[in-house]
């Protein structure tokens, strides 16, 4: 009975949030509207240079002059977990685990700094998660084909990818 009650409560909590049935459901150009890294709010002037493009099973990310890209895939169909497999940029060869939700036109992606999937969308100094909220749109010059990675500079947060 206790498990049933928990399952119903979880279902009610998640009813306003939809999971992508395939990565294609997340396709498009996304701009960051807010962000938190390790519990610290990302400054607005940094947010304006961040973008994420998901196209099929690929992604391109940009944060200022930092760029990266690669493949993105649902960890398991019907889940809220994503794998960002970076094959271009400073973090090439790295896989970043992420948790996402989509509600009211806002895509929230929480990136983990370690090999485990994030447990929630709460960024703290302890978990070092990077939580970015996106809306559909573009703030990137159409001729700019570069992509983003946080790299080792610690200043990029673009797609909040690997450190």
Cα–Cα distance for residue pair 52/63, rounded to 1 Å: 9
For residues 28 and 53, the answer to whether their CB atoms sit within 8 Å is yes
Looking at the predicted structure, is the pLDDT value of residue 158 above 50?
no
- Per the CB < 8 A criterion, the answer to whether 160 and 109 are in contact is yes
Q: What is the pTM of this model?
A: 0.74
Taking residue 138's Cβ as centre, other Cβ atoms within 10 Å add up to: 12
Give the total number of structural domains in the chain: 1
Is 11 a domain residue? no
Query: Would 106 be classed as within a structural domain?
Result: yes
Residue 158 falls inside a structural domain: no
Q: For residue 28, what is the domain's CATH number?
A: 2.40.128.490
Residue 19 has pLDDT above 90, yes or no: no
Q: Per-residue pLDDT averaged across 60-81, rounded?
A: 89
13 belongs to a structural domain: no
Q: Is 144 exposed, middle or buried (0-12, 13-18, 19+ CB in 10 A)?
A: exposed
Spatial separation of the C-alpha atoms in residues 104 and 68, rounded to whole Å:
28
pLDDT at 25: 75
Two structure tokens written together for 43? 């400054």
Residue at 148 is within a domain: no
Could you give the 3-state DSSP secondary structure of residue 68? Answer: strand
**Domain span at 115:** 18-136
Establish if 120 belongs to a structural domain.
Answer: yes
Residue at 161 is within a domain: no
Give 97-122 pLDDT, tens digit per residue.
Answer: 999 998 898 999 999 999 999 999 99
Q: Answer whether residue 159 is part of any domain.
A: no
């Amino acid at each position: 009975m206790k498990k049933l009650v928990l399952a119903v409560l979880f279902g009610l909590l998640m009813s306003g949030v939809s999971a992508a049935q395939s990565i294609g459901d997340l396709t498009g150009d996304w701009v960051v509207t807010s962000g938190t890294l390790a519990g610290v709010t990302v400054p607005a002037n940094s947010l304006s240079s961040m973008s994420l493009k998901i196209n099929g099973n690929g992604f391109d990310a940009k944060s200022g002059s930092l760029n990266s890209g690669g493949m993105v895939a649902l960890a398991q169909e019907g889940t809220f977990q994503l794998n960002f497999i970076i094959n271009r940029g400073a973090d090439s060869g790295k896989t970043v685990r992420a948790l996402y939700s989509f509600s009211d036109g806002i895509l929230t992606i929480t990136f983990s700094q370690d090999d485990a999937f994030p447990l929630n969308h709460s960024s703290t100094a302890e978990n070092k998660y990077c939580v970015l909220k996106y809306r559909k749109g573009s703030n990137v010059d159409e001729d700019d084909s570069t992509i983003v990675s946080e790299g080792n500079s610690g200043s990029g947060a673009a797609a909040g990818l690997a450190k």
